[in-house]
Amino acid sequence: MNFSSKILEESVNALSTLPGVGKKSALRLALHLVQDNTKKASKISAALARLETDIKKCKICCNLSDHDTCELCLSTTRNKRVLCIVETARDVMAIEDTNQFSGKYHVLGGVISPLEGIGPSDLSIDLLVERIKVEEIEEVIMAVSPTIEGETTIYYLSKLLRDFNVKVSIIARGVSFGGDLEYADELTLGRSILSRVPYNVQS
């Protein structure tokens, strides 16, 4: 791809590092910003800069937040006795879009994946255990993507929680094996939450 402008080339290279954005798409976006007269590029760059400087992780659930504690954790109307465990903040958004869950969340920050060098210590599991100890949680719902890594994570967490007086459930398998929660349609994901089943961990 030949560029008449070094600035344009740098912009295309930067945009193409985003997931799902190839060189051609990046060029189309960059050219759109060049031709736009509403200062869209400045607005976008300012918003993106705040992702680095201002966005936080909730100190309780590890969800993304503008403050130290997110609105979901601060809410007094949500069911504090039910905790939904998810991989990422995107999964929280996906479940919230279903309007079928009114409990609290805990964001792991990923799943256990030895092949990628991700172990339990790389996730927010210690914080989860502390929450189980001090909060009035009666049920933990494992809303983790049904992949091999996800199943490994569910198994590990379930064994870890056996010593606590909490019911452990998993979402119904309306979400196909190998799929990501964020790509499930709202109806399927909502039904999976409502139709959750007990998870019995084997010794």
Which band of pLDDT confidence, cut at 50, 70 and 90, is reported for residue 202? low
Furthest-apart CA pair in the chain: how many Å?
66
Average pLDDT over every residue of 33-47: 92
What CATH number belongs to 75-198? 3.40.1360.10
- Residue 110 host element (H or E): none
In the chain, what is the straight-line distance between the N-terminal and C-terminal CA atoms, in Å? 57
Q: What does the pLDDT read at residue 191?
A: 58
Q: How many helices (H) and strands (E) does the chain have?
A: 8, 7
Q: Any idea what DSSP says for residue 113?
A: B
Q: How far apart are CA 129 and CA 127, in angstroms?
A: 5
Q: What does the pLDDT read at residue 155?
A: 92
- Where is average pLDDT lowest: 74-78, 91-95, 96-100, 194-198? 194-198
* Amino acid found at 141: I
Average pLDDT of the chain to the nearest whole number: 89
- Architecture in CATH for domain 6-53: Orthogonal Bundle (1.10)
Residues 6+ apart with CB under 8 A from 150: 87, 111, 144
Pairing of strands 64-65, 103-107: unpaired
Dump pLDDT digits (tens) for 43-79.
999 999 999 999 999 999 999 999 999 999 999 999 9
Q: What does the pLDDT read at residue 68?
A: 97
- Looking at mean pLDDT, say which of 135-139, 175-179, 194-198 comes out highest: 135-139
Chain centre distance of CA 94? 9
Residue spans of the domains in the chain: they are 6-53, 75-198
The rounded radius of gyration (Å) of the Cα atoms in the chain is: 20
* Amino acid found at 154: I
Q: Is the dihedral of CA 3, 51, 144, 114 positive or negative?
A: positive
Average pLDDT over every residue of 98-118: 94
Place of tokens 């064994």: 159
Q: What does the pLDDT read at residue 81?
A: 96
Q: How far apart are CA 157 and CA 129, in angstroms?
A: 9
Name the percent of the chain in helix, strand, coil, to the closest 5. Answer: 45, 15, 40
* Amino acid found at 33: L
Dump pLDDT digits (tens) for 179-198.
455 555 665 666 567 667 67
